[in-house]
Structure 1
Amino acid sequence: MTITQAQSAPLVAVVGATGVQGGSVIKALVESDKPYRIRGFTRDATKPAAEALKKRGVEVVAVNLVVENKEEVYKAFVGADYAFLVTNYWEHMSLEREVSEGKLLIDAVKATGVKGIIWSGLVSIKKISGGKYTSDAFEGKAQVTEYGRAAGVPFVDVQAGAYATNFLKSSFPFVVKEADGTYALPSVAPGTTVMSIIDMEHAYGLYVRWVLEMPVFPDGLNVYTTSWDLSQEDQARQISEGTGKKVVFKQITPEVAAQRLVSLGFPPAAAAGILDTFHFMDEFGYYGGNPSTNADGLARPTRTFAEWAKSADWSKVLV
């Protein structure tokens, strides 16, 4: 349905409206038969993705959600009933910046008196593993989650599985071409390691919508999203079957993996965090032993990994 402008409908403020997670949330709310007003935040309201949102009835607000812009950030949330919040660690790869910006968002939302916050967090790898593993990409979100839970505003953490689209990136290839023309899915963790993978564009927003459409906003709930819980060996096999290309799992040493990540431009600390994440998944599970949330209550079924692999654009990696 078309997004409504009726004041009786709840106003949902969505951070990252033109990005992957925020875009998925808006897509799911647009599909709902319930009325919503949506305010989407982006740094550039003139880009094509923002213009497309405006045509769908979304109120697009241009704002830079950084600490230095605190006053404008606070103004941006005024009038919102609910807020979807997300930060992008990989944009800057700074733990301190992610935590400070995440706390700023929570403070701004709290100040405007919202009925509920939905935050895109992650588990604390460091805490669950007793300090054995750590990853700034996870730790920053876990710290913001703790801050949000203590803020006194109804708070739900909808955690994101590993993006399926990561398999399609040439800048950080999950699938690499071998010398003999075949393809490998390299990892420091064994092939039996299970990952919770999310079809982000089509599925993540459904979980957020599910939370918003519960009879009572479920304060304190943790949602562990997934489209597929698959071993790395099964990932390789299904990619191979879906694309017709020979793709096999290949376990590599931490040294080789670290060199590869640094060569792709990742700072050593970020590279180490990625490797620790895979070791953590093997030993504790992607969500640290928490089971993926049952998707039966979602508004529509999600695709299988095989269906996704068959329909995806592999032109940047399977060349």
Structure 2
Amino acid sequence: MTITKAQSTPLIAVVGATGVQGGSVIKALSESDKPYRIRGFTRDVTKPAAEALKKRGVELVAVNLVLENKEEVYKAFAGADYAFLVTNYWEHMNSEREVSEGKLLIDAAKAAGVKGIIWSGLVPVKKISGGKYTKVEHFDGKAQVTEYGRASGVPFVDVQAGMYASNLLGNFPLLVKEPDGTFALPWVVRPTTVIPTIDMENDYGLYVRWVLEMPVFPDGLEVYTTSEDISLEDQARQISEGTGKKVVSKQISPEVATQIFVSFGFPPAAAVDVVEGFQFFDEFGYYGGNPSTGAKGLARPTRTFAEFVKNADWSKVLA
């Protein structure tokens, strides 16, 4: 259904409208047979992605969601019925900033009187691991925001993102060329370790739509998204089958992995963050022992990993 401007329909405020998660939410809502008004937040309403959303009926608001801009952030949420909130740790790699900005979003949505908040959080690694893994800031920061949201008094749902399948396409050094010309997935996990892997652009928004379209907003719900739970060795095999390139999985040490991430341009602290994260996934599971929510009840099936491989552009990493 085309996104509407009818005042009788619920207004959904979507943070990061031109980004991966916010864009996926808008895509899923636009596919619904239920009408929605959508207000998308972005810093630049003139860029092509924003212009495309405008043509689809999305109300675009130019706003920088930082503490120094508190007044404008509060104004941006005015009149919203529900809010989808997300922060981007990798933009600045500063956990303190991420937590502060996440709390700001919750405060602004609450001040607007929304009926429910959907937040993109992650599990508390330090807590689940009993203090064994303390440097996975991009998980623990989001978990702090989740606690704050739960205590806000606003109905609150946490829709967590699985491992981005698109991370294999070059944003992270997760698929690398070996000296002999073959390719490897050199991760700090056993090849048999199963990871909830998600085609974010296609599938994440389905889970947010599912929450919004429940008969009653499910306050307190934790949603663990996935397109497919798949082991590293099966990922390697399916990339090989889908691309014709020889790809293998291999477990490497945390020290070697850290060196790879630093050589890729990651600051040392961020490299340790990622590597400790993989150690946590291998020992405790990506969702800390919680099973993936699965696709039951979603508006359409999620993509399999093989379908992701088929549709992805591998030219950058398999050159």
Question: Shift of the alpha carbon at 1:173?
Answer: 2.6
Q: Distance in 2 between matches of 1:226 and 1:313?
A: 21
Question: What is the total number of aligned residue pairs between the two structures?
Answer: 318
Q: Secondary structure at the match of 1:9?
A: coil
Q: TM-score with structure 1 length normalisation? A: 0.98
Structure 2 residue aligned with 1:141: 142
Structure 1 segments of 4+ aligned residues over 2 angstroms from their partners: none
CA offsets per residue over residues 74-107 of structure 1, 9 Å max, x none?
0000000000000000000001000000000000
Structure 1 residue aligned with 2:53: 53
Instruction: Give the alignment's Cα RMSD to 1 decimal.
Output: 0.8
Structure 2 matches for 1:61-140, cutoff 5 A? 61-134=61-134, 135-140=136-141
Would you say 1:311 and 2:307 are equivalent positions? Answer: no
Would you say 1:153 and 2:131 are equivalent positions? Answer: no
Is this contact kept in 2: 1:197–1:229, CA < 8 A? yes
CA offsets per residue over residues 49-70 of structure 1, 9 Å max, x none?
0000000000000000000000
Structure 2 residue aligned with 1:259: 259
Structure 2 residue aligned with 1:216: 216
Would you say 1:30 and 2:51 are equivalent positions? Answer: no
Q: Secondary structure at the match of 1:133?
A: coil
CA offsets per residue over residues 155-178 of structure 1, 9 Å max, x none?
000000011100111x42311111
**Matched-pair identity in %:** 81
Is this contact kept in 1: 2:173–2:264, CA < 8 A? no
Q: Distance in 2 between matches of 1:162 and 1:255?
A: 22
Is this contact kept in 1: 2:173–2:260, CA < 8 A? no
Structure 1 residue aligned with 2:14: 14
Structure 2 residue aligned with 1:280: 280
Q: Secondary structure at the match of 2:262?
A: helix
Is this contact kept in 2: 1:173–1:317, CA < 8 A? no
Q: Secondary structure at the match of 2:117?
A: strand
Is this contact kept in 2: 1:13–1:77, CA < 8 A? yes
Q: Distance in 2 between matches of 1:216 and 1:254?
A: 45
Q: Distance in 2 between matches of 1:122 and 1:19?
A: 18
Structure 2 residue aligned with 1:188: 188
Q: Distance in 1 between matches of 2:143 and 2:33?
A: 33
Matching residue's letter, 2:89: Y
Matching residue's letter, 2:156: F
| Residue segments in structure 1 that go unaligned for 5+ positions in a row | none
Q: Distance in 2 between matches of 1:151 and 1:233?
A: 42
| Residue segments in structure 2 that go unaligned for 5+ positions in a row | none
Which range is displaced more, 181-190 or 262-271?
A: 262-271
Q: Distance in 1 between matches of 2:129 and 2:150?
A: 22
CA offsets per residue over residues 118-150 of structure 1, 9 Å max, x none?
000000010000010130000110000000000
Is this contact kept in 2: 1:158–1:225, CA < 8 A? yes
Which range is displaced more, 181-190 or 207-216?
A: 181-190
Q: TM-score with structure 2 length normalisation? A: 0.98
